[in-house]
Amino acid sequence: MKDHEILARIGKGDEGALDYLYKKHYRMMTKIVLSNNGTEEEAKDIYQDALIVFWQKAVKGNLVLTSKISTFIYSICLNLWRKELERKSRLVNEEKDGQASQNFEAKEQQKIIHECIGELGDTCKRILTYYYFDGMNMNEIAEKLNFANTDTAKTKKYKCKKRLDQLIKTRFSSNDFLD
Amino acid sequence: MTNSNYSSMVERYLDGDMAQNEISEFEQLIEQDPLLKSELNSQQQVIQGIQNYRQTQLKMRLDNIDVTPGLFETIASNTITQIATGVAITGSLVIGGYYLLQPNEKNQLTEISIEPKTIPFSSSKFQIEKLNAAPLVDIPELQHQEETVKEAIPESNPTTNETDVNKEAATLNPTIVSPMLADTGSTTDDNSIIVDVDNPTLPNQVNQEESIEVETVNDSKPDYRYKFSDNKLFLFGDFGGVPYEIIEINNRSGKRLFLYHGETYYRIHNSVTKISQLQSVTNIELINELNILRSNKSEQ
């Protein structure tokens, strides 16, 4: 598959193109981390994150590549691994400063939000993730989910978001989160 | 302002639905109204949660993909010069190919006794025909069987009537591709004289074959070209980072090379020293054989 075909398929939200890229470059990309003091698990994690960053940019359909896709993903991998190494070295200091407990709290909040999203129906999950993560517009969402028109997508997105907010508010009785 | 108003205002702000002047007003309000600021923070966390959720979903999807590479999968890279599949792989491929290409003989090995004298003259005839063939004729894979027969003759029976054969050659028409294919069926039984029975050194000979060094020269031209120089294979073209494989089939009649790229096989002639276009293999039977060869290797 040529680069422009991959971009076109990702532009349509075709996750199969992501699978193809993942497999195709797995060895080359994980080698970056493996040959720089990373474990196999870290290498896989960084590569997946890099690929998802690429997906997120490409799915919006306005990514103009000046290099090959592989070169682009390679540079994302490198950057992510550098950041991860910095984060690791910072971690020791954070533990001393008590920042770790704040991180723990934020993680707990995210965990609860995840659980609430899990309670939504499949259509709601897809609308919200396509909109807030993939950056699809209402027209694209309507097309992908076979809605009658853009207005239907808008209405559904509004209702799904309200439902999620309610679920989250119910879970957080304290006032320090969502009022 | 009610909570509901806050929510819708924050949502419009975060969704990018506000006009520029509204954005400025909203950002001023945030600084003045702690409740609005709190609502904004909360909504940002929810959106971050949705994003994390999707990211987790995608990662789980990727986790389920089998990334185990094929044994002789060669990863083509844009900038890296590569060495083709090593001698060991080639050797085992050759042996696999040697048997695969003679499917009828696989179960007959122990029963075969070589009787070179019984080789029909049609096989010798083939030898002559081949001599007359143009060097770049793409010989169909089925000939492989006949070529082994050809070599068996001088070893086992040096007194084969070469004079007659040469006379025959003078009268033969060199357009021989079709007749050779036609002969295949009738000579199959004779060809089941796999030379291994008489010649256990074949695997060693195979392993002694030199490996081929490959260098990829990426350019933007749409077609694929190649040449041989100092026993090194140069590939030209935009391979787009897609892995390619060099398949080398060695038998006693020589070495045959194929390039597999983008689900297409290309024949490589090692006599080509000037840059030539890669010709895709169109012979269905040959393609099938090569497919079997590749899938057989992957399973090992």
DSSP annotation string for B225-249: EEEEETTEEEEEE--TT--EEEEEE
Q: Do B53 and A3 touch (CB under 8 A)?
A: no
Residue pLDDT tens, chain B, 300 long: 566 678 888 888 988 888 888 899 999 998 999 889 988 998 999 999 999 999 999 999 999 888 876 554 544 444 443 444 444 445 445 555 555 555 444 444 434 334 444 344 444 344 433 434 333 333 344 344 434 334 433 444 444 444 444 444 444 444 333 333 333 333 333 333 333 333 433 334 444 445 677 877 777 777 788 888 777 888 888 776 677 788 877 766 677 888 888 778 888 887 788 888 888 888 887 888 888 777 776 555
Q: Cβ separation of B78 and A70 shorter than 8 Å? A: yes
Q: What is the pTM of this model?
A: 0.50
The helix (H) or strand (E) run that includes residue B258 is strand B254-261
Residue A179 to residue B3, Cβ atoms within 8 A: yes
Secondary structure class of B222 (helix, strand, coil): coil
Closest CA of chain B from A27, distance in Å:
8
Q: Are strands B225-229 and B232-237 parallel, antiparallel or unpaired?
A: antiparallel
pLDDT tier for residue A176 given thresholds of 50, 70 and 90: low
| Structure-token pair, residue B200 | 């256990």
For residue B61, the chain A residues in CB contact (below 8 A) are 15, 18-19
Orientation angle between helical segments B143-156 and B121-132, nearest 10 degrees = 110
pLDDT band at A100 (very low <50, low <70, confident <90, very high): low
Flag if A48 and B78 touch (Cβ within 8 Å).
Answer: no
ipTM of the assembly?
A: 0.88
Q: How far is B59 from chain A (nearest CA, A)?
A: 6
For residue A48, give the nearest of B45, B53, B62 by CB distance: B62
Cβ(B1)–Cβ(B29) under 8 Å? Answer: no
More confident residue, B252 or A57: A57
Bridge partners of residue B216, in order along the sequence: B235
Q: Do B269 and B134 meet the contact criterion of CB atoms below 8 Å apart? A: no
Q: Alpha-carbon distance B187 to A121, whole Å?
A: 67
pLDDT of residue B98: 52
pLDDT for residue A75: 93
The average confidence (pLDDT) of chain A is: 88
- For residues B269 and A49, the model is more confident at A49
More confident residue, A96 or B30: B30
| Residue-level pLDDT at A94 | 66
At B70 the pLDDT is 56
Write out chain B residues lying below 8 Å of A114, CB-based.
49, 52-53, 56
